Amino acid sequence: MKASPSEAVGRAYCSTANLGAGYDVFGLALDKYSDTVQVRLTQDRRIRIVATGPYGRSLPRDPRKNSAGPPSLALLKRARAKRGLVIIINKNVPPGLGLGSSGATSAACTKTLDDLLDLKLSNDDLVETASLGEKAVSGSAHADNVAASLLGGFTAVYDIPRRVTSLKPTSRLTAVVATPRLKTQPNKTQKARSLVPKKVETKKAVLNVGRASAIVAGFATGNIDMIGAGMRDEIAEPYRESMIPGCADVKRLALEAGAAGVSISGAGPSLIALLDRTRYDPGPIGRAMVAGFAKNNVRSTWFVARPAIGATIIRKG
Ligand code: HSE
């Protein structure tokens, strides 16, 4: 009889969340950075986390505080596996920039362990499980980043219990991400979330639902202008802009340079502009965003990214 594999390696890409109107709902996987996670089943019942790679040092090793920990525990329980794990994270997604760093680790680990334990979870269950990792890190089980990192392309999470849907973006879609060099804020996501008011006026909710609908329609039909038009928000961004000096200037200049839309990427501080690469060059948009920050005495860098595929298993055995 063939022994079942005791080790697997998976990868998940980074992502941007919200896209303006889709606070805690929309995600878009980006091909700039990815985390790989090697999961090995052991005989004891412990979960050990080893972190390597350029950002490995920044990760907590305590499984309760690392975004790989809670999803792993949940999956072992679900499989009724009386086993432990060694999880080796190769951390390439920079944390604290608004690029779904914790979500990428959580998604890679969830995908890999689902495969290793042969659970064959539905996409809804994978996303719900991976969101437990976000809860460990930021105190909230938002699932927008993990959905994008798990499924790839554009994703939307909705309903209670949570469900997820995804769309493959047009190949013309390109992103420019500009990141200000600000002092690292401990618990940045938690702080950014605490700024969002608990109640929303109907007028603002109506505006957001309309714009979010435009974003979904834009992804479904490959209409990048429509996606861009929806990338404005009444619920979270107006209250978070104070955390990002120059935010309004960066947005304005990116739009003037040809971006279809601009929003804060996740909880920030990066801003993301989307464009149609057959009509505009990312260069002037990236430079305009950097100029927007410079106008506010903030140094910044920018990069170009394209939509990424979902989490994959690289090796098993
Ligand atoms: N939707 C989340 C937020 C993403 O904006 O707080 C954070 O990773």
Reduced to 3 states (helix: H, G, I; strand: E, B; else coil), residue 41 is strand
Nearest atom within ligand 1 for CA of residue 103: 8
- Residue 267 Cα to ligand 1 middle (Å): 5
186-244 pLDDT, tens per residue? 888 999 999 999 999 999 999 999 999 999 999 999 999 999 999 999 999 999 999 99
| Residues with a known catalytic role | 134, 189
Nearest atom within ligand 1 for CA of residue 24: 1
Q: According to the model, what pLDDT value does residue 2 have? A: 60
Q: According to the model, what pLDDT value does residue 317 have? A: 83
234-251 in b/e burial notation, b at 16+ Cβ within 10 A?
Answer: bbbbeebbebbbbbebbb
The rounded distance, in Å, linking the Cα atoms of 117 and 133 is 18
The rounded distance, in Å, linking the Cα atoms of 71 and 112 is 11
CB 269, CB 182: distance < 8 Å:
yes
To the question of pTM greater than 0.95 for the whole model, the response is yes
98-107 pLDDT, tens per residue? 999 999 999 9
Q: Please give the radius of gyration of the chain, using alpha carbons only, rounded to the nearest integer.
A: 19
The percentage of residues in the chain with a pLDDT greater than 90, rounded to a whole number, is: 94
